[in-house]
Every structure is written in structure tokens, then in C-alpha cells.
Chains A and B, each alone.
Chain A
Amino acid sequence: MATVNTAWDHVSGNIFKTWVIMFFFSIFAVVVIYIIARGFGYGEVGGLGLTGFALIMAGLMNFVSYYWSDKIVLGISGAKPLEKKDNPEVYLLVENLCIAAGLPLPKIYTINDSAPNAFATGRDPKHAAIAFTTGILQKLNKSELEGVTAHELSHVGNRDTLVMTVVSVLVGTIALLSDFFLRSMWFGGRDRDSRGNAIFAVIAIVAAILAPVVAMLIQMAVSRRRELLADASAVLLTRYPQGLADALVKISSDREPLEVANRGTAHLYIINPLKGKAAIGWFAGLFNTHPPIEARVKALREMEGLK
């Protein structure tokens, strides 16, 4: 049977692949924690205690950015709320897509920047916010803007803020734990050798150096997966892949940089706003939060069989 890749297939495929990545990530995290804990040796303040400490620290840090995600990001980006009377067309467009997606109406914001881009954030659909730059509202036509809005609302509906927070907690735990371990290597040196075994110490050093990088790569892979998922979910909403595909091409070929974006918020936007730094090539691609435009457009073209 010929494989027909409808938007439905893309949605379920991307959800499945997210689970696969998360499954291996959990195994990876357990192994790393085990190795480093063994490296520390089992003292009173042994590896497991430090793991717990790292988990709580990473959890707390991420909880703040999760719970107040909308306020923090909107504040940093200098977003202004958009009322119905300011731009009824955009307001109604968002409202109507929300009805189709079965989501409550998010708060709508505009960012005064002529670079075209958009993002959505918020801890759950009830506290969601969607932001458009003034540039995107000017440069895209209605069906393109519908595609972009549907993509952003899909992030809300797919709970991507939550997904990325969970991933971020794991990454943070591994990074902190590795850091603790490496520091204890330089400054420590209590009677570890009697209990901790020397081979494990060496493995643990290697693990502590490599694990944070690997964890970050996995985080990026999850992020790219969620972007593809949001693209596919958006097509189920608008039933018009071309609109989103055109929008992606238009946004990415726009040379203007988005001034309010920085490394901390870049992953939120529909297209990475830090242009010029766009990485090319297989290896550099591993570090990207977004899949390359060509891959996204190709997936959308496949879905055009739908309707």
C-alpha cells in the first residue's frame, strides 16, 4: 500500500515520535544519574541526595518560568494587548480559529516590530497568550495569517509549554548534577577512593562532561518535533496547508531581524527570529530549535492531499 501522509498521519506520527524521544531521554537520564551517583560514592551526602537536590533546584527554576510563562515572555518582548476595536479582522480571525480548535480565546498581543513573526505561550489553554509582530500583520495575507495563527493555537492545544518545561527540568537536573560532580572533583577529594570505585570515577567524569550536551541535543529534538506537530495540527484546523507553507517561506525569506527576540525567547517563535545565525548542515542542525524551513514546507506539501 502506498503511504499517504495526510495531516492526521503527521499529527499521530509526531506525537508518537515525541514519546519515543521522551522514553529514551528518561533512560538516558536514569543512566547518567546512576553513573554520577556511583562516581560520588554513597556517603551521607551521597549521589542520590545530590540528585534529589538537583531535581528540586531544576524543578523550582522551571516552575517559575512555566507558571508565569505568559507574563515573563510578554514582558521581555514588549507586547501590547490587542483589543477587538484595534484590529477587528485579526481579533475575529483568532476567535474563529479558537472555536474550530475548541480552545478558549487567548489573550492577543502585538509587538511593535516590522520583522514578521509570532509566538504563543502560557501554562495552559486558559492562561494562553498569542502575540503577533506588527510586521506579520502587515506582510501576510489572510490565509497565511490563518495558517500562522492555527500553528500557534496548536502549540496551546498540544500543551507545548508543559512538554518543553518537563524536558527542561530533566536537562536542568542533568546539567546541575554534572556541574556538582565536576566541581567536587576539583575541590573535593575527601575519602572517596575508599568507597567509590576508580573506574566509575573516570566514567563519571566523562559522563559529567558529555551528558549536559547530549541532554540539550535531545531537548532540541523534542522542540523540533513539537514544531512539526504544530504545523500538522494547524493543517487540521485550516485544511489549507498552502496558507501556512506560504507564510513560512515569506517569514523566513524576510531579512529583517526581530530586535526583541533573544536566545531565551527564540525557540517560542514560529520561525527562529535570530537570522544570520541560522545553522546549515546536518551537525549544526542538531542544535536548532526549529526544523529547517524546507523540511517543514515539504511536510506541508505532503498534507495537501488532504481535503
Chain B
Amino acid sequence: MGMFKTSEKLEEVLGGFFKLMADTPVIADKLLKSKLVIRFSYTDPDLVVVVDCSGEKIDVRPHDTDSKAIVEMSMSSDIAHRFWFGMVNLTKALTRKEMIAKGPIPKVLKLLPAIKPSYAMYPKYLDENGFEQYNITKAYKPPTA
């Protein structure tokens, strides 16, 4: 069993965070420049979210399994959760198939600097929106070696 017990809770937490990022210009402006449409497919619990950066504003669409995505990212909900804390080594996750990325990888990689501010936003967002129990930063010790 992962950190999130139900798909509804996962949607509430991650879906809410995606919407916060969509409303944060320092992140949203760069994402919109990419024109990417990314489908995140999470497991344990299951959830599909499309983040559509092809328009004038970022459109976050939970449960969208139909529209054509440019990039498909598949991972467990726990990996997704840890990613937004900046705790996931992307190369490691891809190598070990903890994440599967379909589509133009260079375009995904170049988005990473753009979303860096989100790593600091996520724990704050959790604390401020009644999701403190999901804030794992206090227990996390970064590697020293």
C-alpha cells in the first residue's frame, strides 16, 4: 500500500498542486513555452492526469484518458509524490523503470529547471492545505556522500 490510500485523495493532493503550479507564473510561463501535453499515469492508487500546456493557460485535466498526449509519464503514486519534493533522481528512476517516459525526452529534460521552484512549493502547499501528513521533508535526510 502506497502513501495515498485512495485515488480520490491522490487527485485532491496532486491535482491541487498541479493547479497551483499552473497559477504560478515563474513555473507556468516556461511550461507554456514548451507547448507540451503530458499525461501522468499513476498506480497504487491509480490516477490519470493530463497537464496541457498547449494553450494560453495550463489546463489540468484529471481522468483524461482520451486526448492525445505528446509525453506519457508512468510511475507509482509514491514516486510521483517524492518527485515533487525533489527527492527523485530522474536518471535512476528511468534506468530502474520506476518511471517510464514515452515521447520526446529532451523536451521533458529541459522542463526540469523550469519546475525546480516547485520542489520548495510542494511541502509548503501540503502544510497550508491540510495535507501535513503527506509532508515527508522532515523525515528526509539528503545523502551526504
The answer to whether A and B assemble together is no
